[in-house]
Amino acid sequence: MRNSIFEWIDPNGWLRTRRNHALEHATIQVLAAKRPDVRMAGNSNARGFWIIGNVDIETFQAGLSEALQRLRAGERDLAIHPHCGTNYASMGLMAGLVAWLSMVGVKGGWREKLERLPLVMFLVTLALILTAPLGPWLQRTLTTEADLGNLQIEQVDCFERKGYMIYHVKTR
């Protein structure tokens, strides 16, 4: 059985991307627990993922191994990250849609549009509050897959660019 509609388009690539995204999130969460002072960002695709964060290679590899082990042990919540782009994109989409809809039908110039601004701000705020659970739900059902299946770490590369450590984790 397929987990999402996107798997009908590219069954293997989409599932690998979702699994890599889950491992990326889990790795960031494990590393953040060890080093809460370090800001991190990541990006996943079907071949692996990238993490930018100033942690040494030993700490990174230990965090990656722990994340893999904990996901395999069933800690599915590690795959859901509160600062994932999925959260921001879904909330931004809904806020933008509500803002646009609240301005439909406004005729005239800037004055008429400014008169509608309090309503727009109220509706956008309401949309952000109501859609906050949408991002984690989308992560759970669409953009991550905590069941890693036979995913294996193939290689970890480390680079330093402009004072930032960049890790590239290749998977298969």
Given this model, what pLDDT does residue 6 score? 52
| pLDDT at residue 1, as a whole number | 45
pTM for this one? 0.86
* Tens of pLDDT, residues 2-31: 555 555 566 679 999 999 999 999 999 999
Q: For the domain bounded by 11-80+145-171, which CATH number is listed?
A: 3.30.980
For residue range 108-118, list pLDDT tens digits in order: 888 988 999 99
In contact, 151 and 108? CB cutoff 8 Å: no
Question: Tens digits of per-residue pLDDT, 99-108?
Answer: 999 999 889 8
Domain layout of the chain by residue ranges:
11-80+145-171, 85-131
6 or 131, which is more confident = 131
